[in-house]
Chains A and B, each alone.
Chain A
Amino acid sequence: SQKIEQNSEALNIQEGKTATLTCNYTNYSPAYLQWYRQDPGRGPVFLLLIRENEKEKRKERLKVTFDTTLKQSLFHITASQPADSATYLCALPNNFNKFYFGSGTKLNVKP
């Protein structure tokens, strides 16, 4: 089965810095990968989708990269703000198109 690894330790950074979160996966290489944001007591909110033929995708202060050789996606938030504090989840399908989520990384942006 697909195994997804996200850093379980919280990432603490200072406001204004760039936050970089990592998503590593094993086994099947997916055709696409998604990143979601989840706030306490809320459902995940979709942020970005990147396909295997796209090396990088941007949306405002967000940037996602997808390295199918390393089996890794990096999620960057530039000029981070305290409002960016949340848990960030990566999600990707296996070869049967069943969708798996990572356990998420909690980001704390300090003012």
Chain B
Amino acid sequence: EAGVAQSPRYKIIEKRQSVAFWCNPISGHATLYWYQQILGQGPKLLIQFQNNGVVDDSQLPKDRFSAERLKGVDSTLKIQPAKLEDSAVYLCASSLGRNMNTEAFFGQGTRLTVV
């Protein structure tokens, strides 16, 4: 079974530039999550999709971050414009169930460095 695929693995951009991350969840998984993990901290939920609808985006900085999940499968997360404090690993996860009372599978993440 293929896992959660994310790209790119690494990205370095200057502040005020824009960047986009892509995620392909496990086939058949209805729920998709984007997490931000700053070095030394646990993952922080940014947005949760159920199929192609947003379930929770309360911690997404909507003035600069946006995410979409077209056709309820792949998802993209965009940052525009980036700030220095956005430097982090961005993790995508998916699960069969509606919430995290079922196992969540994580991708390897995209490490973003904003300089």
Residues of chain A whose beta carbon lies under 8 Å from any beta carbon of chain B = 4, 31-32, 34, 41-46, 49, 89, 91, 93, 96-104
Contact = CB atoms under 8 A, between A and B. Distances in A.
Instruction: Place the interface of chain B in its size category.
Output: 20 to 34
List the 7 closest pairs (A to B, CB-CB), nearest first. A43-B106, A101-B42, A99-B100, A46-B103, A103-B42, A101-B43, A97-B99
Tell me the dominant secondary structure on chain B's binding face.
loop
Given A31-B101, A34-B100, A99-B100, A43 B45 contact: no
A58 B9 CA distance: 34
B34 to A, nearest CB: 12
Nearest to B93: A43
A46 B42 contact: no
B91 interface: yes
